[in-house]
């Protein structure tokens, strides 16, 4: 069975001098009133704090998933003007204080998410460095069975196959201090949102395909028995342990 996948990736931009620049006032859209960028109303963009965010429709094939992830980036780049701004692939960054003066740059409002191991709400993170910002690359999975038991199975299995792999594939290590903890999820009307990954995978066709393949595989699995160890690998970013785990389990 092929499950539909969606995403709501975020990314930063840089100005022509190579410095991080706030997205506020440049593309429009907000959490409560996103901006539609296609004729059918399937793709949406918005300004989320200082980052650009976009939402894609459900993808039914790997090829469609790749296209849906990459096309909004091209749209936003054209909207901004490539002579003035470029898309950054950074998953975390310190912004110049001058780019954080707008009230929206201080908004971190986000619905709570949960831990699929503890079954408790995750504590909202706080950072002492007020110039530090991060970008997510959350995966949305369309499910027929939306029971709590199935959501937990899906998220724990994704941790084992996708989350552990991301420890190796994602070169950023700073975002995880605040966000991207193991088994972070949020129930959705369409199924479930896996919130562990940063945006590291959204810029590269091969990585987008890898996320599709690994997610589809994870969705066929039962709940892994060694969840505590899986969570430890992800939360500590232990690359050696991640490689050993993936090899031992054929992931």
Euclidean distance between CA atoms 49 and 56, whole angstroms:
19
Q: Which residues contact 147 (CB under 8 A, 6 or more apart)?
A: none
20 and 158 in contact (C-beta within 8 Å)? no
Inter-axis angle of helices 227-236 and 239-249, nearest 10:
140
Q: What is the pLDDT of residue 38?
A: 95
> In terms of residues, how long is the chain?
251
For 119-129, b/e burial (b = at least 16 CB within 10 A) is eeebeeeeeee
Note the pTM of the prediction, 2 decimals.
0.96
- φ and ψ at 23, to 5 degrees? -85, -10
Query: Chunked in runs of 10, what are the mean pLDDT values of the chain (251 residues)?
Result: 94 97 97 94 96 98 98 97 93 97 84 93 87 97 97 98 98 92 97 98 98 98 95 98 98 96
Q: What is the pLDDT of residue 109?
A: 60
């Amino acid at each position: 069975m092929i499950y539909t996948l969606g995403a709501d990736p975020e990314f930063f931009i840089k100005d022509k001098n190579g410095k991080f620049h706030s997205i506020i006032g440049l593309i429009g859209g907000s959490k409560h009133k996103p901006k539609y960028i296609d004729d059918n109303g399937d793709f949406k963009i918005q300004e989320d704090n200082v980052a650009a965010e976009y939402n894609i429709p459900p993808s039914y094939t790997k090829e469609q998933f790749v296209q849906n992830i990459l096309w909004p980036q091209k749209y936003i780049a054209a909207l901004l003007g490539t002579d003035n701004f470029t898309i950054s692939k950074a998953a975390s960054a310190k912004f110049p204080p001058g780019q954080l003066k707008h009230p929206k740059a201080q908004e971190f409002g986000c619905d709570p998410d949960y831990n699929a191991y503890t079954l408790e709400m995750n504590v909202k993170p706080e950072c002492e460095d007020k110039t530090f910002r991060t970008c997510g690359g959350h995966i949305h999975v369309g499910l027929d069975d939306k029971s709590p038991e199935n959501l937990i199975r899906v998220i724990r299995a994704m941790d084992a196959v996708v989350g552990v792999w991301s420890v190796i594939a994602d070169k950023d290590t700073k975002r995880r201090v605040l966000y991207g903890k193991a088994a972070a999820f949020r129930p959705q009307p369409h199924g479930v949102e896996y919130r562990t990954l940063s945006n590291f995978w959204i810029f590269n066709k091969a990585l987008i395909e890898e996320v599709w393949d690994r997610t589809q595989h994870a969705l066929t699995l039962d709940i892994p028995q060694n969840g505590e160890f899986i969570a430890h690998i992800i939360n500590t970013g232990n690359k050696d342990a991640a490689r050993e785990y993936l090899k031992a389990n054929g992931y």
